[in-house]
Amino acid sequence: MARDSVVGNVAQDLGLSPSQLAARMARVVSEGSEQRFRLDPRSGVLTLTETLDREHICPHSESCTLFFQLLLENPVQLIRGEVDVRDVNDNSPEFRVKEVVLKIPESASPGSSYPLERARDKDKGVNSLQNYTLSPNSHFSLALVNGKDGGKYAALVLQRQLDREEQQELRLVLTATDGGSPPRSGTAEVRVVVLDANDNMPVFSREVYEVRVAENSPPGQLLVRVSAADPDDGSYGKVQYELTQTSEWSQELFDLNAVTGEIRVSGNLDFEEAKSHELVVRATDGGGLSAHCKVHVEVLDVNDNAPVITLSSVSASVPEDAPPRTVVAVLSVRDRDSGDNGRTECAVAGDVPFILTAAFAEHYELRTSAALDRETTAEYNSAADSGAGSLPRSYVYDVRLAAGTVDSEFRFLGPLFSCFPAGLPQGAADQRSSLCSAGLGQQEGDWAAQLKLKDHI
């Protein structure tokens, strides 16, 4: 969708009139660092602030959902919205290599299979790659294979034995087609070179290698060494290794030594992006014979993301006669880690007249828990603190009460800021927390309330 395109009408969906939206100072905040939506309070229409490219926003996901928050004042109300970004067929399947060369001995038996390079299609779902076809010929048919990563691969299957003396080379056309309407396609040429007999082909020590690696492993770390043996002498017995039928993304994360078969980390692994990778290694001897093995890489999660506290909304004023459970602020807590590493706890610490209530997933409302009296306490300082995790982060804000019931104000004593403890915890039992305080506007008799956020490891 292009910039300024209409996404929907928030007023109609909520059953509110545009005048109600304007009176309650409605505004939209996108979750994350990018503000993709704009709200017109006069009409309630939600529009885009930028052109949406699904392949850029969600490159590795079948579904693509953007979230935003609708904030209403007087009274404070937080509503969460979701926008489903649907795919259109705007990309054609493409082969990374336009010409694939296969060297096959004339002694190869009918039924032998030869994997081909896969085509890539940035679209998802039905608009992604769906089928391969092969140009008519008298020697080969085409077999389709569904990979563990969800990709579709093709392999040549020998139907009639080759004869080098009859034909030294065959040229075939491989076509990849997606499921769009109308469908898009891409082609690559397959050149089959018929070799004189090479008695033995490489044989891997394993068909499947299983590897587990932590997501914070540094580049250069050795994962595994694949090994294929060929008993032939001379060049026919020397094996070279290469990756095939492996996604470009995985090839950027791992490096294969063509001579030794060692596979090492070469990029930044991220458990939150992909929990596993599948590599296919081809071993080829000097005569062109090849064999394949698979390497399954399981990425292990570590607590490498700090919980983030976002102060979404605060009341413009807090009268001293405000009843208990009056909403003072709305905040959200997010941690990109998974499982226990991504579970957080948020609570108010200290003897202060505030409580924290859950609004919905990862969102909280800071409310008064008792009557306020400016003559007793003129202001309150509240700090949000992430503790008991590996990367605590803190935010500090101040609630100031003025005399009377209408001449009250809420203001920040200083800018919001974050704080990190030095280093990471050495183990699960080493729990650390950090509290950052502004140290501004403190007066005798003030109360200090701490919002403590715990990141579990």
Residues 73-87: pLDDT tens digits?
Answer: 888 888 888 888 877
- Choose the most confident range, by mean pLDDT, from 21-25, 308-312, 446-450: 21-25
| Mean of pLDDT values over 244-273 | 92
Q: Say if CB 382 and CB 449 are below 8 A apart.
A: yes
Same fold, 203-300 and 308-411: yes
Taking residue 360's Cβ as centre, other Cβ atoms within 10 Å add up to: 10
First-to-last C-alpha distance (Å) of the chain: 41
| Weakest-pLDDT range from 3-7, 77-81, 301-305 | 301-305
Q: What is the pLDDT, as a whole number, of residue 349? A: 66
Please state whether 18 falls in left (phi above 0), alpha (psi between -120 and 50) or beta: alpha
Q: Is the pLDDT of residue 130 over 80?
A: yes
**Which fold would CATH assign to domain 308-411?**
Immunoglobulin-like (2.60.40)
Whether this prediction's pTM lies above 0.75 is answered by: no
Which band of pLDDT confidence, cut at 50, 70 and 90, is reported for residue 410? very low
Structure tokens at 282: 């081809």
Fold of 5-84: Immunoglobulin-like (2.60.40)
Q: Which amino acid, residue 143?
A: A
Mean pLDDT of 395-418: 37
CATH superfamily label, 203-300: Cadherins (2.60.40.60)
Query: Once rounded to an integer, what is the mean pLDDT over residues 241-257?
Result: 92
Residue 385 has pLDDT above 70, yes or no: no
pLDDT in tens, 273-288: 888 999 999 999 998 8
CATH of domain 99-195: 2.60.40.60
Q: Find the length of the chain.
A: 457
Share of the chain above pLDDT 70, in %: 77
Confidence check: pLDDT of 107 > 80: yes
Cα–Cα distance measured from residue 375 to residue 209, given in angstroms and rounded to the nearest whole number: 72
* Residues near 141 by beta carbon (within 8 Å), at least 6 away in sequence: 134, 156, 157, 159
Ranges assigned E (strand) in 149-275: 152-158, 169-178, 185-195, 203-204, 208-214, 222-225, 228-229, 239-244, 254-256, 262-265
Lowest mean pLDDT among 252-266, 276-290, 359-373: 359-373
Report which residue type is found at 135. S
Residues 310, 83: Cα–Cα separation, whole Å: 21
Check whether 129 has a pLDDT greater than 80. yes
Asked if 334 and 308 touch (Cβ cutoff 8 Å), the reply is yes
Angle at the Cα of 236 (from 232 to 240), degrees rounded to 5? 115
Q: Inform me whether the pLDDT recorded for 168 exceeds 90.
A: no
For range 173-202, the mean pLDDT: 89
More confident residue, 350 or 321: 321
Greater confidence (289 vs 374) lies with 289
In which band, very low, low, confident or very high, does the pLDDT at 165 lie, cut at 50, 70 and 90? confident
Establish how many alpha carbons lie within 13 A of residue 241's alpha carbon, considering only the half-sphere containing its beta carbon.
21
In DSSP notation, 405-418 reads: SSS-----SS----
Q: Determine what percent of the chain is predicted with pLDDT higher than 90.
A: 28
Q: Give mean pLDDT, residues 159-184.
A: 90
The answer to whether 167 touches 194, Cβ cutoff 8 Å, is: yes
Name the average pLDDT for the chain.
77
Contacts of 331 (CB under 8 A, 6+ apart): 309, 310, 311, 312, 363, 364, 366, 384, 451
pLDDT reported for residue 327: 83
Q: What is the pLDDT of residue 373?
A: 73
Read off the pLDDT band of 72 (50, 70, 90).
confident
Q: Check residue 41 and give its pLDDT.
A: 78
Q: Which of 3-7, 10-14, 49-53, 378-382 has the lowest mean pLDDT?
A: 378-382
Alpha-carbon distance 75 to 322, whole Å?
12
Cβ proximity of 309 and 221 under 8 Å: no
Indicate the pLDDT class of residue 173, thresholds 50, 70 and 90.
very high
Smallest CA-to-CA distance from 318 within 368, 370, 384 is with: 368
187: Cβ contacts below 8 Å, ≥ 6 apart: 95, 173, 174, 175, 176
- What pLDDT shows up at residue 248? 86
Q: How far apart are CA 195 and CA 162, in angstroms?
A: 9
The encoded tokens of residue 229 equal 């043996």
> Above 50 in pLDDT, residue 378?
yes
Angle formed at CA 107 by CA 105 and CA 110, multiple of 5 degrees: 100
Confidence (pLDDT) at 175? 95
Q: How do the domains of the chain map onto residue ranges?
A: 5-84, 99-195, 203-300, 308-411
Q: How confident is the model at residue 187 (pLDDT cuts 50, 70, 90)?
A: very high
- Beta partners for residue 394, in sequence order: 385
